[in-house]
Amino acid sequence: MGLDPSGLDFDCYSVPEVTEELRQQTGPSFRLHASTSSGKLKIQSPTKTSLTDVSDKAKTLGDKLVLSPTDTAVIALALDLLKQGENPVIVSDDYAVQNVAEELSLTYQSLATLGIREKYNWVYYCPACFRQYPTGATQDCTVCGTRLKRKPLDKVAAKQRDS
C-alpha cells in the first residue's frame, strides 16, 4: 500500500503471501526488491503455533470478522516476534487486523502515521444497496445479504455523485 521500508529506522518484516500479492504491481514490487536485497525487509513465514493462535482468536471475535490468509500470516509473524522478545508493530489500516492484534496485545499502527507515498483508501460497499462497510467488518451486506465489493474510496464517491 505504498509503505517504503527503506525510509524507516527499524527492521521490517513481511510474509511470503505479501510478496506474492505485490508481484503484479510495478511500484510496490520495485520497493520490495530494493528493501529485501538491502536487508531492510525480512520475508519470514510465521510458525504453525502462532497461525493457530491467530485463527482461534479471530474466531472468538465472531464470524463477522474476516481475516484473509495473508492478514492471518502477518499477525502470526508479529506474534512470533513478540515471543522472541521483539516489540513488533503491525502496520495495517485493516479493521479486522487491528481488532485481532488488540486482542493478542500486539501493537498496531495505521499507514497514515508512517509517511506513505501512495495511499489507497479502500472501501467495501454493497453493489445492490450501496451501503459502505469498514475493511474486514463483514463479507456480505448486513442489510440485503449481497456479497460486498471493494473500490478505492474516490471512485465510490464519484459513482454516488452520478446517481
Q: Among 118, 115, 120, which residue's Cα sits nearest to residue 135?
A: 120
CB of 148 to Zn ion, least distance (A): 8
* Least Cβ distance, residue 140 to Zn ion (angstroms): 8
Chain residues that interact with Zn ion, rule: CB under 5 A? 126, 128-129, 141, 143-144, 146
Element (H, E) at 23: none
With respect to Zn ion, which residue has the nearer C-beta, 2 or 134? Answer: 134
Cell 506474534, located at residue:
79
Q: In the bound complex, what is the minimum distance in angstroms from residue 146's beta carbon to Zn ion?
A: 5
Residue whose CB is less far from Zn ion, 29 or 138 = 138
Q: How far apart are CA 78 and CA 33, in angstroms?
A: 21
Nearer to Zn ion, 55 or 138 (CB): 138
How is residue 97 written as a grid cell?
487486523
How far is it between the farthest Cα atoms of the chain? 53
Minimum separation from the CB atom of position 139 to Zn ion (A):
12
Our CB check for Zn ion shows the closer of 52 and 142 to be 142
Question: How does DSSP classify residue 125?
Answer: E
